[in-house]
A and B are shown apart, each in its own frame.
Chain A
């Protein structure tokens, strides 16, 4: 079974530039998550999708961050414009779905390390 795929693995940009990250979840997984992991901290949920609908985006800075999951499969997270404090690892995860209950395991991709200069 293929795991969660993310690209790119690394990205360096100047502040005020735009950047996009891509995630392809495990086949059949209904729920997709984007997390931001700042150095020295645990992952923080940015947005959670159930199929192509948003379940939780309460911690997504909507003035600069956007995410979509067209057709309920892969997803793109965009930052426009980027700030210095956006430097972090962006993790994508997927699971079978919230209908399976909160106990369903999340499978994580390797992450994208973003550096904003």
Chain B
């Protein structure tokens, strides 16, 4: 059974802190994604990665960076957290595009920045 795990379900941080959100998948998927979900806005893509050390900006990359040093792990970094980054963060992984990829989602991390 495919598993995508995220390091925390709930996280509370202070403004200005550096925040790391970790995502691990166990299916040897090429693609990994970080989404942000806010009420009424749906799922918005922050960054995605299609291979180790490769990354592409999504629709809302400002204020975020990512790291993919190993195929199974994709980290989202908030360099200096701000209150407008309070949100639900969802990680997903999928096979490469040729497979008609179905993303598998992690359980999400609800981040609150005070």
Are A and B genuine complex partners? no
